[in-house]
Amino acid sequence: MRKLMVVVLAVLCLTIMLAQTADKPIGTNEYMFSIPKFDSIAIAEADKAAEEILRNYTAAGGELVWQQLREAKTNAGKVRLIYVLGRIRYKQAVTELIKMIDLQAEGIDPKTAIARWGRYPAAEALARIGTDSTKTMNSIVRVLGTEENELRRKLMVRVLAEVLDKEVAQFAVERALKNAADAEKPNYEKALAVLQLDHFGVGD
């Protein structure tokens, strides 16, 4: 009977603890932080929030940032979220980042905020993630076969060249071309032509 009482008390205590923590922000034991809506906060506040996430990063926090990116309505909000995902090298966001590779960031007044990204933040984020992930580079190579847009194709090639080096990137694209369907071959050939250029014409 005594053992049963101990078990009941333990379950009751656990239930109370879970109820108390259910609405708390996601974080670590040492740091608790919430993820603000990047769509609707000022640049200075967004900077502060981004740095807080980077200091106290957890996988759960990364998931929340990624979820916001998929739901974001403003370009400014998307840019800030892309920056954070690139900094934490969140590999699960690669497919979404490839879709947004040609998203252009608005200029930032250096008097009011630090410019933490260039003209195409999703390309920069993919390059950061790609340094730790072969799958990221393979994903970009696969998408190149169906990419008809010249700017997007150049940005993908720039990421490949930056992460892999031009010669290795060329080898990867040539291998994809060899195994590609007829409809994809022209796009791979155009990508190879871009790799021959000294400058890709996309802010490099």
Please state, in angstroms and rounded to a whole number, the distance separating the CA atoms of residues 189 and 171. Answer: 12
Number of structural domains (the chain) is 2
Please check whether residue 9 lies inside any domain of the structure.
Answer: no
Whole-number pLDDT of residue 41: 63
Q: What is the number of alpha carbons within 13 Å of residue 27 lying toward its C-beta?
A: 16
Quote the domain boundaries for residue 145: 134-204
Specify if 16 maps to a domain: no
Q: What is the pTM of this model?
A: 0.73
Give the residues across from 32 on adjacent strands: 27
Please report, for the chain, how many H helices and E strands are present, in that order.
10, 0
Tell me which of 107, 132, 157 is where a domain ends.
Answer: 132
Name the DSSP letter for residue 194. H
150 within a domain of the structure (yes/no): yes
To which H or E segment does residue 7 belong? helix 2-21
- Tell me, what's the pLDDT at 34? 60
Domain boundary among 88, 110, 132: 132
Q: Say what the pLDDT of residue 98 is.
A: 96
User: What pLDDT does residue 5 have?
Assistant: 53
Q: What's the per-residue H, E or C state across 173-192?
A: HHHHHHHCCCCCHHHHHHHH
Flag residues of the chain having pLDDT under 50: 4, 6-33, 112
pLDDT at 7: 43
Q: What pLDDT score was predicted for residue 10?
A: 47
